[in-house]
A and B are shown apart, each in its own frame.
Chain A
């Protein structure tokens, strides 16, 4: 892709990147909403889900967007107007920033940064600010409780998320996501390099911690106290309507998609297809699709858990994070480091 893009002028490259970014976030989010929220969950509950808009309800999301666009954008009278209005955009910004470091193929990436995963972990916390803004700015007690819960929870789970990644970084000897993929593609496991070395095998504990922490970062059940419908109505989203609610909604699924993509890159070999040369130009086309397939698989797990389990209480969630996940992640790092030195 670099070869093609280098002949274009700056504005052309930029517009291509913007379009690619929008497609990567919105199309993926749309597909996830349809496949998981509309269909899989319906089947899980012995029903069909939307069937009227488009074949098998495939255009339902378009209809929903049309509905949300028509709705009045209500701002509560005592709300902090600017903070209230800006909050959904801050949340969505974090999603787009996360995408920047994701590699989709040998040459298909936005930026190849040596601090890739570090940047990703850093910008993922931006969404906390957006959620706190929404909770505070709404001038509603439910929103405030939801926002505060969200902040406490996201800060608590940032740590195991980061510590789970450290194991991978130690093994791959790089923080660059592209090189992490290559390390998995060129690696060997048990003396055989047939499927490369997807880190899910050697870093299985790290993978589990990452998935649990990711579930909490995405505020999905069993960690959905911030939006707990039965307690806080919808937490920090209670006062939102129309387009801004839609942004929160899309942001939730887009973040789920992007986080799953990071998990796929870290643990499942990213865009790499076993048997192909990692430098093959074919992978620039195939790679994003493979990555997308892995994203669908991982989000399936996320939503399967979401629609099966009840939610924790706030104190139980903190206990799980600090007393169980963080020590486990630290032990994982120690074991990985020792093995790295010994082997």
Chain B
């Protein structure tokens, strides 16, 4: 039986069970507001769930509690100032937010960063992916009730954050990317230290594999829960590990690289055929390992040379439009930048991954139990800042 058929069957069964229960005992439904302040929504997402007993009849995510208006703010900031704002969209992998915007601006200005800058950019891009997904691996365990893994995640994520801080100066908000290159070169000894950090992250992945992934209770809680068939996932605009866990072999890093040097190294896109919560966890775990391998290979071959292209001091972007998307930790993130030749962008449209990833929840949460809401939300992995912007 394929995933789709299984999903359809379980959905029909859930609907039938609902109808039967409602007819037989005439239970009155209950509306449960999960959030906006709830430990599992890590932030201010609100899920309005209509329950029948512990089963969800309908669920609706309510977004916008943390709307900060970055698209509008970007219109009254100069290009260098925008990077410092968009750092805060996905605050766990913040360097990755800067990259697509800078690449879009570079495309409009028709400059290209020198090779050394591109390599360092890619390294930091992958480091922020590791910093982001490491926390997911621990957080997913918290969503299903294990407390310890998240402490391991925070402990080992620290090594990556230390490297990001040593290079950029900022742990969470690097603001290191500039149009035409990078702000600064790497400090001495950084390459060797990063290699050590990558070793620690691989050890952490092994630990998580034994502590969480191999755990029978964890598998019982996640396998077959929240199955997303590839067709449905694509029609809802799911990207990143969420759609790869449904068996769609699509990664922007490999399929349409722009400005980053992922095509220079040898790596693999992981997919999983099941499309359930466990598959999403598994794919992210493999992706973290793969990212450490990418970083290791990139560290070997950083070319020497300048880190800034020739760019005027006062940046005026010529009129035009550009859309650039990259494979961010949470999925595909894209910036559509419209310039009218001013110091400020005329309009910036941000396509963030979490918004699409969460929009599938009304479809996905129908017929599941209350604990599964949390498992599914955890496995979809959203950052509130990335949803609301």
B219 closest partner in A (C-beta): A310
Interface residues on A, range: 20 to 34
Most interface-central of B32, B141, B145, B155 (chain A CB within 10 A) = B145
B217 interface residue (CB < 8 Å to A): yes
**In the complex, which residues of chain B have a beta carbon less than 8 angstroms from the beta carbon of A316?**
220-221
Partner of B221 from A41, A232, A313 at Cβ < 8 Å = A313
B309 interface residue (CB < 8 Å to A): no
Tell me which of A222-230, A245-253, A260-268, A276-284 binds B: A222-230
Cross-chain contact A312 with B38 (CB below 8 angstroms): no
**Interface residues of chain B: helix, strand, loop or mixed (majority):** helix
Cross-chain contact B152 with A310 (CB below 8 angstroms): no
B54 closest partner in A (C-beta): A314
A138 interface residue (CB < 8 Å to B): no
Cross-chain contact A141 with B32 (CB below 8 angstroms): yes
A153 interface residue (CB < 8 Å to B): no
**In the complex, which residues of chain A have a beta carbon less than 8 angstroms from the beta carbon of B221?**
310-313, 316
A190 interface residue (CB < 8 Å to B): no
- Beyond A141-B32, A310-B145, whether A45 also contacts B152 by CB under 8 A is yes
Cross-chain contact B370 with A231 (CB below 8 angstroms): yes
A312 closest partner in B (C-beta): B217
Partner of A228 from B145, B152, B155, B218 at Cβ < 8 Å = B145
A315 interface residue (CB < 8 Å to B): yes
- Beyond A46-B155, A141-B32, A230-B374, whether A315 also contacts B142 by CB under 8 A is no
B372 interface residue (CB < 8 Å to A): yes
A315 closest partner in B (C-beta): B369
Most interface-central of A231, A314, A315 (chain B CB within 10 A) = A231
* Alpha-carbon gap, A225 to B54, bound state (A): 12
* Alpha-carbon gap, A221 to B221, bound state (A): 14
Interface membership of chain B positions 63-75, coded 1 if the CB is closer than 8 angstroms to chain A and 0 otherwise:
0000000000000
* Alpha-carbon gap, A41 to B146, bound state (A): 12
Partner of A309 from B143, B217, B370, B378 at Cβ < 8 Å = B217
Interface membership of chain A positions 271-312, coded 1 if the CB is closer than 8 angstroms to chain B and 0 otherwise:
000000000000000000000000000000000000111111
**In the complex, which residues of chain A have a beta carbon less than 8 angstroms from the beta carbon of B32?**
141-142, 145
Cross-chain contact A222 with B39 (CB below 8 angstroms): no
A156 CB to closest chain B CB (Å) equals 15
Interface size on B, residues (CB 8 A): 31
A252 CB to closest chain B CB (Å) equals 15
B378 closest partner in A (C-beta): A230
* Alpha-carbon gap, A48 to B95, bound state (A): 32
Cross-chain contact B39 with A233 (CB below 8 angstroms): yes
Partner of A310 from B39, B151, B215 at Cβ < 8 Å = B215
Cross-chain contact A230 with B40 (CB below 8 angstroms): yes
Cross-chain contact A231 with B220 (CB below 8 angstroms): no
Interface membership of chain B positions 137-167, coded 1 if the CB is closer than 8 angstroms to chain A and 0 otherwise:
0000111111110011001000000000000
- Beyond A310-B217, A313-B371, A314-B369, whether A221 also contacts B38 by CB under 8 A is no
A74 interface residue (CB < 8 Å to B): no
* Alpha-carbon gap, A228 to B211, bound state (A): 20
Give residues 351-370 of B contacting A (CB, 8 Å): 369-370
Interface membership of chain A positions 21-62, coded 1 if the CB is closer than 8 angstroms to chain B and 0 otherwise:
000000000000000000001001111000000000000000
* Alpha-carbon gap, A316 to B38, bound state (A): 24
**In the complex, which residues of chain A have a beta carbon less than 8 angstroms from the beta carbon of B378?**
230
Cross-chain contact B218 with A47 (CB below 8 angstroms): no
Partner of A231 from B211, B218, B371 at Cβ < 8 Å = B371
Cross-chain contact B146 with A221 (CB below 8 angstroms): yes
* Alpha-carbon gap, A71 to B147, bound state (A): 27
* Alpha-carbon gap, A312 to B218, bound state (A): 8
* Alpha-carbon gap, A307 to B370, bound state (A): 22
A149 CB to closest chain B CB (Å) equals 8
**In the complex, which residues of chain A have a beta carbon less than 8 angstroms from the beta carbon of B148?**
41, 44-45, 307-308
Cross-chain contact B371 with A307 (CB below 8 angstroms): no
B21 CB to closest chain A CB (Å) equals 14
**In the complex, which residues of chain B have a beta carbon less than 8 angstroms from the beta carbon of A310?**
141, 144-146, 212, 215, 217-218, 221
* Alpha-carbon gap, A142 to B373, bound state (A): 14
B234 interface residue (CB < 8 Å to A): no
**In the complex, which residues of chain B have a beta carbon less than 8 angstroms from the beta carbon of A231?**
40, 370-371, 373-374
* Alpha-carbon gap, A307 to B40, bound state (A): 18
A149 closest partner in B (C-beta): B54
Partner of A222 from B142, B145, B371 at Cβ < 8 Å = B145
B369 closest partner in A (C-beta): A313
A259 CB to closest chain B CB (Å) equals 21
Cross-chain contact B374 with A46 (CB below 8 angstroms): no
Cross-chain contact B372 with A46 (CB below 8 angstroms): no
A316 closest partner in B (C-beta): B220
Partner of A308 from B144, B211, B220 at Cβ < 8 Å = B211
- Beyond A222-B217, A225-B371, whether A46 also contacts B151 by CB under 8 A is yes
Partner of A224 from B143, B145, B151, B152 at Cβ < 8 Å = B145
B30 interface residue (CB < 8 Å to A): yes
**In the complex, which residues of chain B have a beta carbon less than 8 angstroms from the beta carbon of A41?**
147-148
* Alpha-carbon gap, A233 to B212, bound state (A): 22
* Alpha-carbon gap, A142 to B31, bound state (A): 11
* Alpha-carbon gap, A225 to B371, bound state (A): 9
**In the complex, which residues of chain A have a beta carbon less than 8 angstroms from the beta carbon of B151?**
45-47
* Alpha-carbon gap, A41 to B372, bound state (A): 27
**In the complex, which residues of chain B have a beta carbon less than 8 angstroms from the beta carbon of A314?**
54, 369, 371
* Alpha-carbon gap, A228 to B375, bound state (A): 12
**In the complex, which residues of chain A have a beta carbon less than 8 angstroms from the beta carbon of B155?**
45-46
* Alpha-carbon gap, A309 to B371, bound state (A): 16
Interface membership of chain B positions 34-73, coded 1 if the CB is closer than 8 angstroms to chain A and 0 otherwise:
0000111000000000000010000000000000000000
Interface membership of chain B positions 183-226, coded 1 if the CB is closer than 8 angstroms to chain A and 0 otherwise:
00000000000000000000000000001100101101100000
Cross-chain contact B220 with A312 (CB below 8 angstroms): yes
* Alpha-carbon gap, A149 to B353, bound state (A): 36
Cross-chain contact A307 with B147 (CB below 8 angstroms): yes
Q: Which 10 A-B pairs have the closest CB atoms?
A: A311-B145, A45-B151, A310-B144, A310-B146, A310-B145, A230-B40, A313-B371, A310-B218, A231-B374, A310-B217
Binding site for A on B (CB under 8 A): 30, 32, 38-40, 54, 141-148, 151-152, 155, 211-212, 215, 217-218, 220-221, 369-374, 378
Can you list 18 contacts pairing A with B, beta carbon distance less than 8 Å?
A: A41-B148, A44-B148, A45-B155, A47-B151, A141-B30, A145-B54, A225-B371, A228-B371, A230-B374, A230-B378, A231-B40, A231-B373, A308-B146, A308-B211, A310-B212, A311-B146, A313-B369, A315-B369
Known: A225-B371, A310-B221, A312-B220. 9 other contacts (CB 8 A): A41-B148, A45-B152, A145-B54, A224-B145, A230-B142, A307-B147, A309-B217, A314-B54, A316-B220
